């Protein structure tokens, strides 16, 4: 057998393209970065049916960009908690629905407390078969779902494959309420301790998230790292985003991303009505580029909250629709001020803030404080933050940001662009790849953490 030259990575990423979930670009970029760094990468992802039949939302263009050197496996899963069509029930559920539900709930209580358990179990079976043919040097699991963490833990137990877990989201922390996600006796706590005790490293998207987990699980604190998100030069060229406001036209305040219920939509819409009542600002508009929610059934409500269905001659909000990632530069070029509207949380950074900063344009924050994005924006020269979510204060901050766009200071703009350029995705991922390579080169048969 020829000697291997590339380390082998098993990447457990349920929300991998064609997913349109908020964290898909972190998953996509991680696999791409590793394969470009010389790894042999196999991804375990969700079945296509999950995106076409369950969430009814997908991004085939992003899937088409996956590096052909990456092997993508899509283990099967059951759709018990999503399936409502009795014609698609299996024989057991169709003939004994009560017993089938009891069995399903028993697995949630006794095996793993998440409805993605069947996918994780199938991933473990498939990974073990692949590992017997040619061993994996490392598993990286990204959550959510956190069944991927359990799968990585099981593969360590069954096949001695060391693993790293990447907290794209928090598992047991409600990031927006700053509270525990589960009651004290919930099995998720036991599973999280088990996973972290055996992991080589756990990765977190910001320092606040790392600190929370380090305080909760001090035995694993020395193996916790921060890997920020970042902007992707593959999809976004900041030079393509440059533009100047038209001299006689109103300013365009661009929100670029996905609108969801956690964002202060009502306050933002009210603030832009107030802004347009100011002298010389009657034509300013909040322009929304992106999807309305992640699921079909959320769109109607979000349209109402944005006032898009009101019969108004000159509304303060304009909906531009979704923008393909390959054309994202056009959305930035069509924006004079960028609006960072998110659910405020010291644990949530948001991914768009990195692209926003790379443009060097004024950024208007509309969110509660503290917010983890503020840790990055604090040193950004063109950041405008109202003192609260009072619409009048938001309108005043929007006016100041608009003035900065209308009468730019070239020195501040240059400093803003230079600051934003530092946060490329590849630069963020380099320490993770280096840590992973050290594990692979050590030829470890088990992780540093103790067996659970």
Q: Are 58 and 26 in contact (CB under 8 A)?
A: no
Residue 429 and residue 227 in contact, taking contact as beta carbons nearer than 8 Å = yes
| DSSP letter (8 states) at residue 116 | T
* Residue 82 domain-assigned (yes or no): no
Enter the tokens of residue 144: 């959510």
Per-residue pLDDT tens digits of the chain, which is 452 residues long: 455 679 999 999 999 999 988 889 999 999 999 999 999 999 999 999 999 988 888 889 899 999 999 999 999 999 877 677 676 777 777 767 778 677 777 777 777 899 999 999 999 999 999 999 999 999 999 999 999 999 999 999 999 999 999 999 999 999 888 899 999 999 999 999 999 999 999 999 999 999 999 999 999 999 999 999 999 998 888 988 888 888 778 999 999 998 988 899 999 999 999 999 999 999 999 999 998 887 666 788 888 888 887 777 678 999 999 888 778 889 999 999 999 998 877 888 888 899 999 999 999 999 988 888 999 999 999 999 999 999 999 999 999 999 999 999 999 999 999 999 999 999 999 999 999 999 999 874 444 444 33
3-state secondary structure of 371: coil
With a CB cutoff of 8 Å and minimum separation 6, the contacts of 444 are: 162, 200
3-state SS, residue 96: coil
Residue 27 lies in a domain: yes
Question: Do 256 and 376 lie in a common domain?
Answer: yes
Which CATH number fits the domain that encloses residue 210?
Answer: 3.40.50.2000
Cis bond before residue 434 (omega within 30° of 0): no
Cis bond before residue 231 (omega within 30° of 0): no
In 301-392, beta strands by DSSP E: 317-321, 337-341, 363-366, 383-384
Hey, is 200 helix, strand or coil? coil
Side-chain half-sphere CA neighbours of 121 within 13 A: 12
Q: Are residues 322 and 404 in the same domain?
A: yes
Q: Domain check: are 145 and 58 in the same one?
A: yes
- Residues listed for the chain: 452
| Helix boundaries (H) for 160-206 | 187-198
Are residues 271 and 335 both part of a single domain?
Answer: yes
Q: Please tell me whether residues 122 and 210 are part of one structural domain.
A: yes
Q: Report the number of secondary-structure helices (H) and strands (E) in the chain.
A: 17, 15
Separation between Cα atoms, residue 3 and residue 157, nearest integer Å: 26
Domain annotation covers residue 173: yes
Instruction: Kindly state whether residues 224 and 285 are assigned to the same domain.
Output: no
Number of domains in the chain: 2
- Based on the fold, state whether residues 185 and 257 are members of the same structural domain: no
Q: Which domain holds residue 133?
A: 8-77+116-230+426-442
Asked whether residue 250 falls in the same domain as residue 225, the answer is no
The residue with tokens 């003035």 is 403
- Whether residue 162 is contained in a domain is answered as yes
Assess if residue 68 is contained within a domain. Answer: yes
C-alpha to C-alpha distances, 407 to 86, 286, 336, nearest whole angstrom = 62, 19, 11
* Phi-psi sector, 186: left (phi>0), alpha (psi -120 to 50), beta: beta
Q: Is 45 among the domain residues?
A: yes
Closest by Cα among 343, 335, 338 to 357: 338
- Please indicate, yes or no, if residue 278 is contained in any of the structural domains: yes
357 in the same domain as 321: yes
Do 252 and 264 sit in the same domain of this protein?
yes
- Let me know whether 141 and 268 are in one domain: no
Q: Examine the domain organization and report whether 136 and 250 are in the same domain.
A: no
Residue 95 inside a domain? The answer is no
């Amino acid at each position: 057998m020829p000697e291997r030259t590339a380390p082998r990575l098993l990447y457990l990423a349920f929300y991998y393209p064609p997913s349109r979930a908020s964290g898909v670009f972190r998953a996509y970029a991680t696999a791409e970065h590793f394969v470009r760094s010389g790894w042999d990468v196999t991804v375990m992802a969700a079945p296509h049916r999950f995106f076409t039949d369950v969430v009814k939302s997908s991004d085939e263009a992003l899937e088409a960009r996956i590096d052909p050197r990456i092997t993508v496996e899509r283990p099967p899963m059951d759709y018990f908690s999503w399936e409502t069509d009795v014609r698609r029930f299996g024989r057991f559920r169709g003939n004994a629905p009560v017993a089938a539900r009891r069995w399903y709930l028993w697995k949630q209580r006794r095996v793993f407390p998440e409805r993605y358990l069947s996918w994780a179990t199938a991933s473990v079976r498939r990974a073990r078969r692949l590992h017997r043919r040619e061993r994996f040097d490392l598993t990286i699991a990204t959550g959510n779902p956190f069944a991927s963490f359990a799968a990585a833990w099981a593969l360590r137990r069954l096949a001695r494959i060391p693993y790293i877990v990447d907290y794209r989201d928090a598992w047991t922390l409600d990031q927006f309420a700053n509270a525990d996600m589960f009651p004290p006796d919930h099995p998720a706590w036991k599973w999280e301790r088990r996973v972290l005790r055996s992991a080589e490293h756990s990765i977190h998207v910001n320092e606040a998230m790392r600190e929370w987990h380090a305080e909760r699980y001090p035995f694993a604190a020395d193996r916790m790292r921060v890997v920020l998100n970042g902007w992707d030069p593959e999809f976004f060229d900041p030079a393509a985003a440059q533009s100047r406001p038209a001299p006689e036209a109103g300013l365009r305040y661009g929100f670029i991303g996905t609108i969801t219920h956690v964002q202060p939509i009502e306050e933002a819409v009210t603030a832009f009505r107030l802004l347009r009542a100011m002298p010389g600002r009657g034509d300013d508009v909040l322009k929304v580029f992106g999807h309305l929610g992640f699921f079909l059934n959320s769109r109607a409500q979000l349209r109402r909250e944005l006032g898009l269905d009101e019969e108004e001659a000159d509304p303060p909000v304009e909906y531009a629709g979704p923008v393909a990632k390959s054309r994202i530069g056009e959305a930035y070029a069509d924006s004079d001020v960028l609006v960072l509207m998110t659910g405020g949380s010291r644990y949530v950074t948001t991914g768009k803030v990195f692209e926003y900063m790379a443009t060097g344009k004024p950024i208007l924050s509309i969110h509660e404080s503290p917010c983890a994005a503020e840790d990055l924006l604090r040193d950004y020269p063109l950041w405008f933050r109202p003192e609260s979510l009072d619409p009048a204060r938001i309108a005043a901050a929007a006016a100041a940001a608009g003035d900065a766009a209308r009468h730019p200071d070239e020195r501040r703009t240059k400093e803003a662009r230079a600051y934003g350029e530092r946060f490329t995705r590849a630069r963020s991922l380099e320490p993770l790849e280096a840590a992973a390579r050290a594990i692979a080169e050590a030829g470890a048969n088990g992780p540093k953490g103790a067996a659970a």
